[in-house]
Amino acid sequence: MKFIGLAFLTMTLAFTNVDKKTIVIDVNGAVSEREVWLGSPATPSRLSGPSLVNTGAIVRYSTGIVNGATSYEWRLPYPYNTVSTFNYFGQRWELQLPATGIQITAFTGYAKNSGYVQVWGKNECGNGGVKLLSVRHATNPRGGGGGGIPLNSFGAENTNEDIVIHPNSVDNILKINLGNSDSGFVKIYNLQGQLIQQVEIISNQIELNTSNLQNGIFLVDIIQGNEKTTKKIIVQH
């Protein structure tokens, strides 16, 4: 005959502050404590990112980990769209999905809509308090705010039909078909005017590796002799 001992378990709740609770478990004198969160999440303590943005630019916002939150909800200045791929020529703000973590990526659009970026924590009990950041657009058409120089500050591109760039948008490999194989260079610049990549033209068929470029808009200069053609490309991984 086997004797099975009986364990006695006692649980108590200790209040450490308004929303954090401590569960104290006593099993036959062996005491352990676990901190838990009860109720809806706390209010975010910070919201980081530019309050002055460039028009038609990509910006990022972040918050800290919020007590009690299992996910996060974000909103942008109204009206805005939620998208998986940016429309880099759209008028509205755009929020790139997924957008349930502590950091988001957004496109500011061209309508110059000012307003609030908002974030709050969520869990099964509901929503916590909201954190707001007032955001407006820079008045300088070439920038002055966060997110880099806007696309439309560069003016019209040279649309030389003898030069074909594809695909556009591009993921990893950009192909350029030239009208001739005259010597020269192909240069890629970001919207801050920084030279990102340069290759020498040795044939009329060129392939550029774009896998290391961040998502966004870039300028491609094709220089052959005294002629220069500029194309805009979108990198989207």
Query: Which candidate, 145, 53, 148, places its Cα nearest to that of 93?
Result: 53
Between CA 54 and CA 208 the distance in angstroms is 29
Query: How high is the pLDDT of residue 87?
Result: 81
Query: How high is the pLDDT of residue 125?
Result: 87
Contact criterion met (CB below 8 Å) for 119 and 63 = yes
For the stretch 94-101, contacts whose Cβ atoms lie closer than 8 Å and that sit 24 or more positions apart, written own/partner, are 99/72, 99/74, 100/71, 100/72, 100/73, 101/71, 101/72
Token pair for 152: 């439309």
Q: What would the mean pLDDT of 34-39 be, rounded to a whole number?
A: 68
Backbone phi and psi for residue 32, each to the nearest 5 degrees, phi listed first:
-135, 155
Query: How high is the pLDDT of residue 215?
Result: 82
Q: What would the mean pLDDT of 192-214 be, rounded to a whole number?
A: 89
- Mean pLDDT of the chain, nearest integer: 82
145-155 pLDDT, tens per residue?
777 655 554 44
Q: Does the pLDDT value for residue 36 go beyond 80?
A: no
Same fold? 47-152, 156-235: yes
Query: How high is the pLDDT of residue 79?
Result: 94
Q: Which of 138-147, 202-211, 228-237 has the highest mean pLDDT?
A: 202-211
Q: What would the mean pLDDT of 60-70 be, rounded to a whole number?
A: 93
Q: Does the pLDDT value for residue 26 go beyond 70?
A: no
User: What's the CATH class of domain 156-235?
Assistant: mainly beta
Distances (CA, A) of 47 to 50, 154, 186: 10, 31, 40
135-147 pLDDT, tens per residue?
999 887 656 777 7
- Indicate the pLDDT class of residue 172, thresholds 50, 70 and 90: very high
The domain spans of the chain are 1-38, 47-152, 156-235
Which of the four CATH numbers 2.60.40, 3.30.70, 4.10.860, 2.40.70 does domain 47-152 have?
Answer: 2.60.40
The DSSP letter of residue 152 is G
